[in-house]
Structure 1
Amino acid sequence: MVAIVPSEAELTKLLNEKFTCSFRPGYVTVQGFVLPKRYLELEQRIQDFEVFDTDLWICGFPKTGTNWISEIAWLILHDLDYEGAKELNYRRTKTLEQVIYITRNPMDVSISYYHQSVNYEGFSGTLDDLCKLFLFDKINYGPFSKHVLSFWEKRNSRNFLFLKYEDMKRNLSKVIQGVAELLGKRLTDEETARLQEHASFESMKTNPAVNKQKIMEQFEKSGGKIKSPFIRSGKVGGYKSEMPEHFIPQFHYWMKKRFEGSGLDLVNV
C-alpha cells in the first residue's frame, strides 16, 4: 500500500509540540525507545536498581490492561483480600520471581492511549496526530512493536506468563486460573467466580482504586479537565468506531510487517 511517510524532523516536532506538559517537558531516545526527558534524571538510579529473584514484574505497553491484571494478581497473592484491594497503593503488589506481560491489538491501544493522553497527559494534538506518532515509532514509550516482541521472545521462559487483553475479555476465568497457577496458588470454583465478578469490566469502572479516582480528583483540583474516566470503554475492536478510516489499512500493513514471522497475531484476536 502507498502511505505518506513523515520525516523524522516532522515526527519529532509533532511529539514535542503536541505531547508535552509541565511534568513531561520533552523526550529522549534510549536504546531505540522514546522516553520522557526526566528519564535522564533517574537513569543512574534505574541502572543501580537492585533486582531480587523474589520480584514480581507486571509489564505492558500503556493502555494494554496492566491495571486490570495487577488487580487480579494482587488479590490472588493476598488470599482474595477484597477490602485491602480498595486502597490505592502503587507498592501494594507482593513479590515473587515471576513476570506477567500483557498486550493488546495496537489499534485499540492507540485509541485508548489517545483518550488518556488528552485527559491526563497534556496532549493537544488530534487522533490523526497520535496515530501517526504510533505508526512511525515516535509515541511515548514506543516503539510498540519492539516493546511487545522483546517480551514475546521470552514467552517460554520459566515463570513467565504472556497474556492478551482480548483473552481476558473472552475468558476471564481461564486467565485467572492461569495467573493463580503461575503464582503457586489454588482457587476453588467459587473463589474464581467471585474474583471474576470483582474483576469484570463493569466492576472495574466503579472501583475507585483501579479507576484512579483520587488521582483524577487531584488532577482536577490542579486545573486539569477530564473528559472521560480512566477506565473508559474497554471494548475489543472499539477502534472501528473511532479510528479515521484511512489509518485502519495502514495499521494492518504495519502489523503484518512488524510481527510477520514472530508467531504473534494481534489482528485476529
Structure 2
Amino acid sequence: MTKTKATLTRIADSSRRDTVSLFDLLAQREARDRTHFFRIEGLRLFVKAMECGAEIQSAIVSASHSDTPAAQRALRYLQDHRIPTTHVSDECLARITQTEDPQGFAAIVRQRWESLADITPSADLCWVACESVRSPGNLGTIIRTGDSVGAGGVILLGKSTDPYAPLTVRASMGSIFAQRFIRSTFQNFATWKQQAGAHLIGTSPQGAYDYREVLYQRPTVLFMGSERKGLWPIHQSLCDELVRIPMAGSADSLNLAVAAGIMLFEIFRQNHPAPADLLRSG
C-alpha cells in the first residue's frame, strides 16, 4: 500500500468512527441538545425524511442492506445529494441501533425548531400544546395522530420529553418530519394565545362540557396536561373551554395519547363532514 493510500485509509477510518460515535451519542438528550441533531433508524424513516426534505447530515448503511426499490431509491438519494455515507458491517449497525430490523439504514438528521412567532394557527386544522408530557411513546403517538388529521404541530411546555428522542421518533412512524415543534414557557404561551386569538381547548374529568358539545373552529389549540396530573388550575384558567371525555366503565382516566386522539378526531370530524353518500338514513 502506498503512503498516500494508507493516509486516505486512515482518514476514512477516522471519519467512519466519528460518524458511528456521534450516532451512538445521540441516544442521549444531552448530546441531542448540544449538537441539534437526532438519529433515525430504519429504511421507512429514512424514506420519510427524504420525502419531507429533512436535512440529513450523514447516513450509515450496512453491507447487506435491503435490496428493495425503496432501498435503491434511498441509495440514489444519498448519491445525488452528496450526503456523507458510512458503510458498516451488519453487526456494527445492529449494535448501535435499537430497531429490531433497520433494513440496513440509519442516519443523523438536523432537528427543526420554531418559535411561537412563526405560527399562524388559523392556517392549520389545529395545534396541540402539551404540558410536561413525560412518556416518549405518548408524545410520538400524539405527533403521529396530529399528522393524520392535519394538525400543524406540537407546542411543548414545562419539562416535556424530547420529541427527537429515539423512542419518540419511532412511535411517530415518520410523522416527526411532517409536524412542527415549538418549546415555550407557559407565560410566553399565554401571551401568544391572547395575541393570536387562539381558541384554547383543555381536557379535564371536571370539564363543563362533553367534548362532543363544543364547536371547534380555527384557530384551535388543544391543550393536554401531563400523564399523572393533567392540567393544573393555572392551565385550566387559560382555556376558553374545558371539556371532558365521558366514560362508562370503572376506569377513572384515559391514556394521554388516547385522549388526545379522541379530541383530535372530533376536531377533524367537525371540520370534514362525511360525504352525503356515506350517510345512512334511519
- TM-score norm. by structure 1 comes to 0.28
Q: Which has the larger radius of gyration?
A: 2
With the length of structure 2 as denominator, give the TM-score of the two structures: 0.28
Q: Greater relative contact order: 1 or 2 (C-alpha under 8 angstroms, separation 6 or more)? A: 1
